[in-house]
Amino acid sequence: MTAPRQILRGTTYLVTRRCAHRQFLLKPSKTTNNVFLFLLAVAARRYGVEIHAFCVLSNHVHLIVTDPDARLPAFHQFLDALVARAINASLGRWEAFWAPNSYSAVALASPTDVIEKAAYVLANPVAARLVRTARLWPGLWSAPEQIGGDAIEVKRPKHFFDPKGALPDKAMLQLTAPPGFASADEFRAKLEVALAEREEQAARGGRGFLGVARVLAQKATGRPASGEPRRSLNPRVASRDKWKRIETLGRLVEFLRAYRSAWASRRAGNAEAIFPPGTYLMRVAHDVRCAGFG
């Protein structure tokens, strides 16, 4: 049985999702870019999730987000389901779009960790040896200067979506600075420095870059030549500070202990058992009482 996830209000996450069989189902194209950006904007507004940075590579996606209202699972269920259906329709396929168990949401423990992971996200096209600088990536990629700037307007794609359906004709996506920074300018400046450092490190590798033309020429059913890593770790918390990490993991252990105690009490017949802060599924699906959530 998978341990319950703690979903706390105001947490900032690095979120990752990978395509089935590592196929290039998210390969950059006008349709794919439009579909994903539109649905990201709609999902962010619907569930109140703040978007700070994103990069959509051909076979996986990274997001840096903050979840003010503890609704991250609902946000991703909506986004992932509609992205899968819409892009599958554009590709004429019906098979599973996302790899099972590939969803990862890692809580970032401090502003320093947010900067590090945001730079990691934006440097991904360079680290993967796809393009020499991340700005050359032809897929979706959020430029640091967009943070705190004008909202991005995205029109509803013409294919798949019913013009008379529930989704709006257009959606607005505002990139914001995460909590813990004095201003968008501060976050943006620190991110640009960290991104430049990561790009420089990645560019030192001996291999060349695939290049935009070859990326666009790949088939959606293609996949990387290298084998898929197996049994890799799936962390829930990231922090470079050892003691901060220990402290955060300690709180997670306490959450699991309290959750199991409340679960046992409920199973024993106590319908008023109080679950710990951060309980998500039991709160949403079964309306259990949760400490600090009223």
- pLDDT tens, position by position, 102-116: 999 999 999 999 999
130-140 average pLDDT score: 96
Distance CA 172, CA 110 (A): 28
Give the number of C-alpha atoms closer than 13 A to the C-alpha of residue 101, restricted to the C-beta side: 7
220 plus 254 within the same structural domain: no
At 1, the pLDDT band (50, 70, 90 cuts) reads low
197 plus 283 within the same structural domain: no
User: Per the domain annotation, does 72 fall within a domain?
Assistant: yes
pLDDT of res. 138: 98
Per-residue exposure over 116-125, b if at least 16 CB sit within 10 Å of its own CB, e if not? bbbbbbbbbb
Is the predicted pLDDT of residue 150 greater than 80, yes or no?
yes
236 plus 277 within the same structural domain: no
Is the predicted pLDDT of residue 17 greater than 90, yes or no?
yes
DSSP-assigned states of every residue in 226-268: SPPP-S----SEE-SSHHHHHHHHHHHHHHHHHHHHHHHHHHT
At 293, the pLDDT band (50, 70, 90 cuts) reads low
155 plus 78 within the same structural domain: yes
Per-residue pLDDT tens over the stretch 44-98: 999 999 999 999 999 999 999 999 999 999 999 999 999 999 999 999 999 999 9
187 plus 285 within the same structural domain: no
92 plus 231 within the same structural domain: yes
146 plus 173 within the same structural domain: yes
User: Per the domain annotation, does 17 fall within a domain?
Assistant: yes
Per-residue exposure over 28-57, b if at least 16 CB sit within 10 Å of its own CB, e if not? bbebbbbbbbbbbbbbbeebebbbbbbbbb
135 plus 210 within the same structural domain: yes
User: Per the domain annotation, does 164 fall within a domain?
Assistant: yes
Residue 290 main-chain phi, psi, to 5 deg: -130, 135
User: Per the domain annotation, does 186 fall within a domain?
Assistant: yes
Is the predicted pLDDT of residue 244 greater than 80, yes or no?
no
38 plus 105 within the same structural domain: yes
User: Per the domain annotation, does 6 fall within a domain?
Assistant: no
- Give the range of the structural domain holding residue 277, as residue numbers without chain letter: 244-290
At 237, the pLDDT band (50, 70, 90 cuts) reads confident
**DSSP 3-state of 21:** helix
Is the predicted pLDDT of residue 2 greater than 70, yes or no?
no
Per-residue pLDDT tens over the stretch 189-229: 999 999 999 999 887 766 789 999 999 999 999 998 765 55
Amino acid at 141: W
274 plus 234 within the same structural domain: no
CATH code for the domain in which residue 215 is found: 3.30.70.1290
User: Per the domain annotation, does 2 fall within a domain?
Assistant: no
Distance CA 218, CA 212 (A): 10
257 plus 225 within the same structural domain: no
Work out the mean pLDDT of the chain and round it to a whole number.
91
Is the predicted pLDDT of residue 231 greater than 50, yes or no?
no
262 plus 128 within the same structural domain: no
User: Per the domain annotation, does 98 fall within a domain?
Assistant: yes
pTM for this model (two decimals): 0.90
Task: Give the domain-ending residue among 240, 259, 280.
Answer: 240
pLDDT of res. 36: 98
Domain count, the chain: 2
DSSP-assigned states of every residue in 42-96: HHHHHHTPEEEEEEE-SSEEEEEEEETTS-HHHHHHHHHHHHHHHHHHHHT--S-
> CA torsion angle for 254, 259, 262, 266 (degrees, to 10)?
-170
User: Per the domain annotation, does 3 fall within a domain?
Assistant: no
What is the C-alpha radius of gyration for the chain, rounded to an integer number of angstroms? 20
Task: Give the domain-ending residue among 219, 240, 261.
Answer: 240
